[in-house]
Structure 1
Amino acid sequence: MRIIVLYLALVLANASHAGGIERLKAFVVGAKTAEADFTQTVSDKSGRITQQASGKMMFARPGKFRWDYVAPYEQVIVSDGVKLWLYDADLDQVSVKSLGDVVAGTPAALLAGDNAIEKYFSLNNAGESGGLEWLDATPKNRDTTFERIRMGFRGDVLVQMELYDYFGQRTTLKLSRFSRNPLIPLSRFKFTPPQGADIIGD
């Protein structure tokens, strides 16, 4: 009887303390679309904050995403799954490129990619800290901006991402008002350059 009780206790413990990798896989399966507010903070290798921004993000798997930066500057990053647009309102400039593998090894691949996450990342559980279950995702393609990405989950909700680049900078993304599987019009993942804007790329 004690063996059965012990076994059940271990099963329940494992279920209630799923690691970061399990949280990510459940997130990918369970959230086909999502939207959230975000704050972004960039720190240099000494820990000094060099940039702060905020806005709203959304995605629809596979490959569609949108990041609207609203403060302190206006910038839009949009993908329809085929092309990627980046609009800088201050410069009145739009950069366009084919999506292809450009997002492989980036946060967009983790959030809005297909289910083949481990094709692009090596995943490792990183334990619990600050009430979140963490994982480390290291891009398999070294020709990327980021050396390592950390993701923190509270239950099955993604709460925070930490992006480490090769220059020692850390970008922290904190998500709030997270909505799972909202109905998002496909038009939100299309971008029409403003009239008169400079267009660079495809």
Structure 2
Amino acid sequence: MCRIVFPVILVWSVVFSTVCASYANTGTDKLKEDILDAIEKKYTGKSFEASFTQSVTLVAIDNTQKASGKASFSHPGKMRWEYLEPERHEIITNGRSLWIYRPELNQVMQSDTASFFKPGSGGDFLSDISLVRKNYIISIKAVTAEYVEIKLISKQETHNFSSIVIRISQKNSEIERVFSYNTYDDTNTLFEFTDIQFKEIDPAIFEFKPPEKSDIIEMD
């Protein structure tokens, strides 16, 4: 009898474990879909402005450099980052061309957006939320009463980032933090967004004409 019962118990144990794992995976997949649906509903086709702080940490020497300013985003692919501290400069793209303007140096670096923001390079999804599903493998990193965090790994090989973690508010589905790790995990960059305002934005702010006699540098 023992020889019969043991295999039966073993079979049911395997079945039970498989069913539990299936339910767990189903629950995780549903939660991930709910999160993606929520941020897509919040951001798709919309323009918004926010204040931001940026912290770049060099892990090896435990050194962090901070900056802050205001940013504007408009679907699809339009961004304007106005750095106010510690040094004034701007990063502007209309979705086709990109400019980095440093007024103190009277310098403009310019490029086409596609070569600067390669798929999976990070940041571009703020102006086109559909790129999260399109360009990244997505997993859930953390869930609390205040926020959820999802981890993004680029579907394409990239020399810039190994992963990106997005923190999303449980209260209003706004993206509060974007935390990225570079390929060698020796540098990480944290953006924190506050005072987020969804509003109509003049498309002209995403265009840029270099000032006369400015030093123009073409970026590859």
TM-score by length of 1: 0.82
Partner of 1:102: 116
Partner of 1:194: 211
Partner of 1:45: 59
Q: Indicate if the aligned counterparts of 2:50 and 2:194 stay in contact, CA closer than 8 A.
A: yes
Alignment CA distance shift 1:101-1:117 (3 Å):
farther
Letter in 1 for 2:88: E
Partner of 2:8: none
Stretches of structure 2 that go unaligned for 5 or more consecutive residues are 1-26
130-139 vs 184-193, greater mean Cα deviation: 130-139
How many residues are matched?
185
1:185 paired to 2:198: no
Higher relative contact order (CA 8 A, sep 6+): 1
Deviation at 1:130, TM superposition (A): 8.6
Deviations 1:28-62 (A, max 9, x none): 33221111000011112257233100001111111
1:147 paired to 2:159: no
Q: Which residue, out of 175, 194, 204, partners 1:158?
A: 175
Deviation at 1:201, TM superposition (A): 1.8
Larger proportion of helix: 2
Deviation at 1:119, TM superposition (A): 2.4
Query: Structure 2 matches for 1:84-99, cutoff 5 A?
Result: 84-99=98-113
What SS does the corresponding residue of 2:164 show, helix, strand or coil? strand
Alignment CA distance shift 1:198-1:101 (3 Å):
closer
Alignment CA distance shift 1:20-1:70 (3 Å):
farther
Alignment CA distance shift 1:114-1:127 (3 Å):
closer
Alignment CA distance shift 1:61-1:188 (3 Å):
same
Root mean square deviation of aligned Cα: 2.3
Partner of 2:151: 136
TM-score by length of 2: 0.76
Q: Indicate if the aligned counterparts of 1:125 and 1:135 stay in contact, CA closer than 8 A.
A: yes
What SS does the corresponding residue of 2:114 show, helix, strand or coil? coil
Runs of 4+ with deviation above 4 angstroms = 18-21
Deviation at 1:110, TM superposition (A): 1.8
1:122 paired to 2:137: yes
C-alpha separation in 2, matches of 1:133 and 1:93: 40
The structure that has the greater radius of gyration is 2
What SS does the corresponding residue of 1:148 show, helix, strand or coil? strand
Deviation at 1:134, TM superposition (A): 0.0
Percent of residue pairs bearing the same amino acid type: 25
Letter in 1 for 2:189: T
Letter in 2 for 1:154: S
Partner of 1:7: none
Q: Indicate if the aligned counterparts of 1:65 and 1:108 stay in contact, CA closer than 8 A.
A: no
